[in-house]
């Protein structure tokens, strides 16, 4: 599009370039050497935000796995507990899979303005998605009030459940039964197991919780720039692709807009001038 602009004789750039550089701009992008983009969004259509009911069903299924193992006195209670808390953490902070795997206990941070959250006021993400040729990006994800239930969940995990794995001095927040770090592949497996237990659509994957987090922040009314910083996106357009606001939210925005317009018109209705 840029080449078409500078090569278009109607704008005068050809003459200006010839005078300044002794050369004329030409179009170098053609149908035979460029990719065809037939849709505005060409990502995987199965990836979407979970509805509130689906999210609750997922968390209920994760908790149910813990209770089933506990009642049957089977092994794996601690592992199932870890899996349930891990899924809730991914949603509550919108972390990517590698970011989640690489979290350490030291990444749990206090925030002076959120003293009630204690050491769970923020999450320091040190292994964020890197740009090509660059080291991992760092960011601090704040605990939002709408998800402050994660504070007690993480506190119980860190103080009571995690020590049951006997991790010793291992720094990882999410540890395995063999006292290693929970890997990305296992994170996917956990989501698949819980998703099937909850009878949710098979096209949903762990990354959908990140879509859900972004969508819910927008619905909660947080500014787009805040959301962009929380999830570590370099561009607002990327954040927009992750957003799947509900019909209820859009209807609420429309009602608010109509109310403000009616009030501005002095209560005379939209057709008044």
Domain boundaries, the chain: 1-30, 55-205
Task: Supply the pLDDT for residue 40.
Answer: 46
pLDDT by residue, tens only, the chain of 273 residues: 888 888 888 888 888 998 999 998 988 988 778 776 554 444 566 678 999 999 999 999 999 999 999 998 878 999 999 999 999 999 999 999 999 999 999 999 999 888 999 999 999 999 998 877 789 999 999 999 999 999 999 999 999 999 999 999 999 999 999 999 999 999 999 999 999 999 999 999 999 999 999 999 998 989 989 999 999 988 777 777 776 666 666 666 667 767 777 776 665 544 443
Whether pTM exceeds 0.85: no
Range 55-205 has CATH code 1.10.443.10: yes
Contact 205, 47 (CB under 8 A): yes
Contact partners, residue 108, CB within 8 Å, separation at least 6 = 119, 120, 123, 124, 154, 158, 173
């Amino acid at each position: 599009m840029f080449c078409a602009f500078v090569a278009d004789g109607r704008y005068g750039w050809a003459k200006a370039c010839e005078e300044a550089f002794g050369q004329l701009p030409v179009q170098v992008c053609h149908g035979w050497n460029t990719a065809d983009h037939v849709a505005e969004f060409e990502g995987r259509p199965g990836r979407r935000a979970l509805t509130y009911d689906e999210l609750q069903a997922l968390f209920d299924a994760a908790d149910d796995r813990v209770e089933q193992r506990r009642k049957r006195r089977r092994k794996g209670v601690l592992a199932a507990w870890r899996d349930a808390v891990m899924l809730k953490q991914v949603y509550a902070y919108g972390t990517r899979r590698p970011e989640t795997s690489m979290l350490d206990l030291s990444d749990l941070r206090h925030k002076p303005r959120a003293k009630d959250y204690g050491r769970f006021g923020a999450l320091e993400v040190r292994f964020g998605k890197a740009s090509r040729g660059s080291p991992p990006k760092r960011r601090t994800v704040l605990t939002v009030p709408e998800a402050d239930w994660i504070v007690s969940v993480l506190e119980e995990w860190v103080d009571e459940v995690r020590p049951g794995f006997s991790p010793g001095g291992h720094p990882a927040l999410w540890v395995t039964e063999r006292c290693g770090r929970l890997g990305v592949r296992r994170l996917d497996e956990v989501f698949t197991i819980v998703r099937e237990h909850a009878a949710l659509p098979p096209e949903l994957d762990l990354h959908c919780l990140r879509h859900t987090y972004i969508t819910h922040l927008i619905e909660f009314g947080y500014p787009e720039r805040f959301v962009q910083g929380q999830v570590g996106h370099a561009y607002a357009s990327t954040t927009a692709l992750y957003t799947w606001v509900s019909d209820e939210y859009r209807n609420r925005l429309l009602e608010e807009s109509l109310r403000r317009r009616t009030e501005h018109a002095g209560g005379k209705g939209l057709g008044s001038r």
